[in-house]
Chain A
Amino acid sequence: MQFSDRRAHTLRGSKLKLVSMAAVVGAALLVVGAASAGYQPGAALGKRANDTLIYAGASDPTYLDPALVSDGESFRITKQIFEGLVDFRPGTTKVVPKLAKSWTVAKDGRTWTFSLRGGVFFSDGTAFNARAVCANFNRWYNFKGPFQDASATYYYQTVFSGFKHNENSTLGKPLYSSCRAAGPLKAVVKLARRNGPFLSSLVLSAFSMQSPTAMRKWGADQGTIRNGTFYPTGQYPFRHPTGTGPFLLEKWTVGESVVLKRNPRYWGRKARLARIIVRPISDNTARVQALQTGEVFGMDLLAPTLVSTVKRNSKLKVLNRPSFNVAYVGINSAKAPMTDVNVRRAVAYGLNRQLVVNSFYAGRAQVAHEFMPPSLPGYEPKVTKYAFNPTKAKQLLNQSSCHVPCRISFWYPTGVSRPYMPDPKANYEAFKASLEQSGFQVETTSQPWRPDYVKNVNQGTAGHLFLIGWTGDYADADNFLGVFFQGFNPQFGERNAALDRLLDRAEQETRTARRIALYKQANRLISQFVPGVPYAHSVPALGFQKRVRNYFTSPIGTDEFDTVSLGGQ
């Protein structure tokens, strides 16, 4: 190679190197430049950051016809768009008027007369009146075909049992009989039988009032079953949910966000914020990190282990949701030696519940003494309480058919964390140790939550003892005690006839004070009979930026956003 060629070669080689380096440096600068501008979600969109709440839930809603959904994320949205005849006072379980100003129940206990609020309109302009109320009740009662599937109308079937023409044998006799408009603002609902939980069950978002006009126009009653799953085929539940509530659906992008905007024609006090945006973030840690970065301003389902992370952040705060669940050690009274009440009472004395609650709930639970949370009417403070007492447990065993050491089997689930039981294995190990201290010899069985454990528990084929729990669907003692003990429940093995009769009476009693007294009596009886040992009511947590104000948490998880404001408003 000649000198000039060599020099040209060297120059070209250097040029290539320079170009490569420049490209690498340029790309790096681009990334760093884009990044180092920092990320302040609200900065570029100024005013919106102060009149819009971005809230993180765990998943998308399914759809937005409240009569056809049963999951919390759907109700989170429908609660803002729709209202029912009654509601809870914010943050409590006290039933208060909403679209109905007042109500009476006739002496027969079956005829409910609702006096409705005047001057209320659905967001499509349709008047809310007695005819609209009856249209909604009759719609549910007349559901046919795929709408009678439990995946479509779970809550209607839970509360009202059956339809006008039941199309399968698992449905019961319908509770609803008829509805009549006795005046423009007077709706008379007649039930087939007396039912105490009826009024509190109307708080459920599933029984919200929807615009009959919009439902007809947008095909709310179009649906089908595909691969065994109900699927609405009209546009109503996806694009045109129409209620009387403080918010309207503006936009729903699946997997990304539901955008609600303030209803300018709302009959009551207008929502403080112009918009609410709910974004689904399924991972617990990702939800908290989005809160830390300011990409969301509030979040639900804050895991107990992450509560301290939020508390340590000076810009964030934790709110508590009133406890509405119960964790319990179930006892199968059909399996000896659990047929003997002294053995069951020995179990109760032998479980160190305080230790479990103190150790494995991150300070977010209280010891449970009953199968329903303290916030519910019917809770009885004077039940027999079984404080941990190994000596007493052994005495009872020696008086029973199963002397010390009494051999029993105890089951717990794996592969699961529940709000009432974040760490089942930890709970189990602590309980096993305390039972063995109390004269029992414990044989362990663990199974995966899905599919085996729940199936065996519900079939009554699990061990003598098993860990499980329940979170309430609606705020009535019937949704706890009735679910567990009314009728035969294989979980508990034996049926207590006296308890059965008491709960039947309570269900049919419509006078509030009398119902409360009956449920208190039931709780006293349960604490004597010991079909199981409740041990914890956990307190779910939510996380917020400190500037989020006036957020009231509902025990049943359907918080209302119309009172919420953002710092300085």
Chain B
Amino acid sequence: MLRYVVRRLLLLVPILLGLSVLLFFWVRALPGSPAESLLGERATPELVAAYKERYGLDEPLYKQYGTYIKTTFVDHDLGVSVATHRRVTEEIRQRFPATVELALAAMFFAVGVGVPLGFLAAKRYGGVFDQSSLIVSLLGISVPIFVLAILLKYIFAVRLAWLPSVGRINLLNYDAKHPTGFYVLDAIIERDPETLRDVLKHLILPAIALGSIPLAIISRITRASVLDVQSEDYVRTARAKGVAPATVDRRHVLRNALLPVTTVIGLQTGLLLSGAILTETVFAYPGMGSWLRDAIFNRDYPVLQGGILFLAMVFVLVNLVVDVLYAVINPRIRYT
């Protein structure tokens, strides 16, 4: 197992190098440059030329790429945002915890509702519950996230005033302490139940919006997997031996059915961590997603390159963890 983990970690290097090439040329293929974006009407030819010279945009592409590789992988410097003039690594440090918290909340919702939903749908195969869960899943996949986010916000925040509409925390609570940047964890560490309640309230709507697609996928995969496993010989054998149905379900059906679901959970978590751009924008949630969205509009090359590279690394690491967990859940699986 250790060899497997080390091998997967070493694979990160060619993956990130390959991605760096793609990113480098992709952002430069975008029309415009930071100069025109930021200067707007003030983008006189002289100012644009001066910007390009300072930014090194007038150098040959291979030279620009060499500079980029050196600063990123040798100097460990992801650069400075052209728009905000802040270091990219500093922005990631401040914004990533928000995205992690939101992603985890969304997966908590997706798994917490999706797995029981899929399981019960399989157990009531062909019935009303099964058909209803199919409709719920289809809605979850087909309704765009931003539409759902806007609807949820309008109904529960603006009209009913049940929940907040923006941000991570009530700003009047400005003296709440955040030692780690993970507000839920910080509220627990600081033993601040008011802040904990407030932070959780801020998570509910964006987590439901963001978790809708994973919920739909997880419930369908769980349903299919349970149906598949239920017809396996070892399940029939266990039932024939008189093992209680609840025990059969728990020990034989669920445990095996969750294997493919674990993979899906891992993939979905990685995708969510990649920045919930639309959800964060609708809810003004200060995470990686809203930051990358602004960077696209500003042609902010350092943010796009550094931010996406970082998220790619996170995605690969999350999937490595999922693969290791896979072996833990299913002892028959051995990595060499």
Residues in A lying within 8 Å of B, measured CB to CB: 1, 5, 8-9, 12-13, 15-16, 20, 23-24, 27, 31, 34-36, 38-42, 44-45, 48-49, 52, 54, 59-60, 62-63, 149-151, 168, 170, 225-232, 250-251, 253-257, 259, 275, 277, 279-283, 285-287, 289-290, 292-293, 295, 448, 450-452, 454-455, 458-459, 468-470, 490
Which residues on B sit within 8 Å (CB–CB) of A63? 85-86
Question: What is the chain A residue whose CB lies nearest that of B47?
Answer: A150
- Bound state CA distance, A12 and B249, in angstroms? 12
Which residues on A sit within 8 Å (CB–CB) of B86? 62-63, 231, 254
Question: What is the chain B residue whose CB lies nearest that of A1?
Answer: B242
7 interchain residue pairs of minimum CB distance? A255-B286, A228-B55, A451-B32, A35-B162, A226-B80, A451-B36, A228-B54
Which residues on A sit within 8 Å (CB–CB) of B200? 34
Question: What is the chain A residue whose CB lies nearest that of B56?
Answer: A228
What are 23 sample pairs from A and B whose C-beta atoms fall under 8 A apart? A34-B204, A38-B162, A41-B171, A49-B172, A150-B50, A151-B51, A151-B54, A226-B87, A227-B71, A228-B51, A228-B82, A254-B86, A256-B171, A259-B171, A280-B284, A281-B284, A282-B290, A286-B281, A286-B282, A289-B158, A289-B165, A295-B166, A454-B43
Are A39 and B244 interface neighbours, CB within 8 A? Answer: no
Binds A, one of B19-27, B131-139, B210-218, B294-302: B294-302
Say yes or no: is B234 at the interface (Cβ < 8 Å to chain A).
no
- Bound state CA distance, A357 and B174, in angstroms? 43
Are B286 and A40 interface neighbours, CB within 8 A? Answer: no
Which residues on A sit within 8 Å (CB–CB) of B157? 39, 289, 293
Are A45 and B173 interface neighbours, CB within 8 A? Answer: yes
Question: What is the chain B residue whose CB lies nearest that of A68?
Answer: B85
Are B94 and A255 interface neighbours, CB within 8 A? Answer: yes
Which residues on B sit within 8 Å (CB–CB) of A470? 41
Shortest distance from the beta carbon of A77 to any chain B beta carbon, whole Å: 14
User: Given A27-B113, A226-B77, 4 more contacts at CB 8 Å?
Assistant: A12-B245, A255-B98, A451-B31, A454-B40
Are A257 and B291 interface neighbours, CB within 8 A? Answer: no
Shortest distance from the beta carbon of A198 to any chain B beta carbon, whole Å: 21
Say yes or no: is B81 at the interface (Cβ < 8 Å to chain A).
yes
Are B168 and A39 interface neighbours, CB within 8 A? Answer: no
Are B197 and A52 interface neighbours, CB within 8 A? Answer: no
Are A39 and B56 interface neighbours, CB within 8 A? Answer: no
Contact of A293 among B41, B55, B161 (CB under 8 A): B161
Are A458 and B43 interface neighbours, CB within 8 A? Answer: yes
Say yes or no: is B275 at the interface (Cβ < 8 Å to chain A).
no
Which residues on B sit within 8 Å (CB–CB) of A293? 157-158, 161, 164-165
Are A36 and B165 interface neighbours, CB within 8 A? Answer: no
Which residues on A sit within 8 Å (CB–CB) of B169? 256
Question: What is the chain A residue whose CB lies nearest that of B162?
Answer: A35
Which residues on B sit within 8 Å (CB–CB) of A228? 51, 54-57, 82
Shortest distance from the beta carbon of A114 to any chain B beta carbon, whole Å: 30
Which residues on B sit within 8 Å (CB–CB) of A151? 51, 54, 85
Which of B171, B178, B281 has most A Cβ within 10 Å? Answer: B171
Are A448 and B249 interface neighbours, CB within 8 A? Answer: no
Are A226 and B79 interface neighbours, CB within 8 A? Answer: yes
Question: What is the chain A residue whose CB lies nearest that of B169?
Answer: A256
Which residues on B sit within 8 Å (CB–CB) of A277? 171-172, 174
Which residues on A sit within 8 Å (CB–CB) of B43? 454-455, 458
Residues in B lying within 8 Å of A, measured CB to CB: 31-33, 36-37, 39-41, 43-48, 50-51, 54-57, 71, 77, 79-87, 91, 94-95, 98, 112-113, 116, 120, 150, 153-154, 156-158, 161-174, 178, 194, 197-198, 200-201, 204, 242, 244-246, 249, 281-284, 286-287, 290-291, 293-294, 299, 301-302
- Bound state CA distance, A54 and B200, in angstroms? 21
Question: What is the chain A residue whose CB lies nearest that of B197?
Answer: A34
Shortest distance from the beta carbon of A414 to any chain B beta carbon, whole Å: 12
Are A62 and B290 interface neighbours, CB within 8 A? Answer: no
Which residues on A sit within 8 Å (CB–CB) of B168? 256
Are B31 and A452 interface neighbours, CB within 8 A? Answer: yes
Which of A12, A15, A27, A253 has most B Cβ within 10 Å? Answer: A253
Are A290 and B85 interface neighbours, CB within 8 A? Answer: no
Which residues on B sit within 8 Å (CB–CB) of A13? 245-246
Are A254 and B286 interface neighbours, CB within 8 A? Answer: yes
Are B41 and A469 interface neighbours, CB within 8 A? Answer: yes
Are A62 and B116 interface neighbours, CB within 8 A? Answer: no
Which residues on B sit within 8 Å (CB–CB) of A282? 281, 284, 290, 293-294
Are A35 and B156 interface neighbours, CB within 8 A? Answer: yes
Are A450 and B242 interface neighbours, CB within 8 A? Answer: no
Are B165 and A59 interface neighbours, CB within 8 A? Answer: no
Are B31 and A227 interface neighbours, CB within 8 A? Answer: no
Are A454 and B36 interface neighbours, CB within 8 A? Answer: yes
- The verdict on A16 contacting B246 (CB below 8 Å), with A150-B47, A255-B95 known, is yes
Which residues on B sit within 8 Å (CB–CB) of A34? 197, 200-201, 204
Contact of A290 among B71, B77, B150, B165 (CB under 8 A): B165
Question: What is the chain B residue whose CB lies nearest that of A41?
Answer: B170
Are A149 and B54 interface neighbours, CB within 8 A? Answer: yes
Are B47 and A54 interface neighbours, CB within 8 A? Answer: no
- Bound state CA distance, A1 and B185, in angstroms? 51
Which residues on A sit within 8 Å (CB–CB) of B153? 289
Which residues on A sit within 8 Å (CB–CB) of B56? 227-228
Are B162 and A45 interface neighbours, CB within 8 A? Answer: no
Shortest distance from the beta carbon of A232 to any chain B beta carbon, whole Å: 8
Shortest distance from the beta carbon of B106 to any chain A beta carbon, whole Å: 14
Question: What is the chain B residue whose CB lies nearest that of A62?
Answer: B85
Question: What is the chain A residue whose CB lies nearest that of B82?
Answer: A229
- Bound state CA distance, A448 and B164, in angstroms? 37
Shortest distance from the beta carbon of A295 to any chain B beta carbon, whole Å: 6
Are A256 and B31 interface neighbours, CB within 8 A? Answer: no
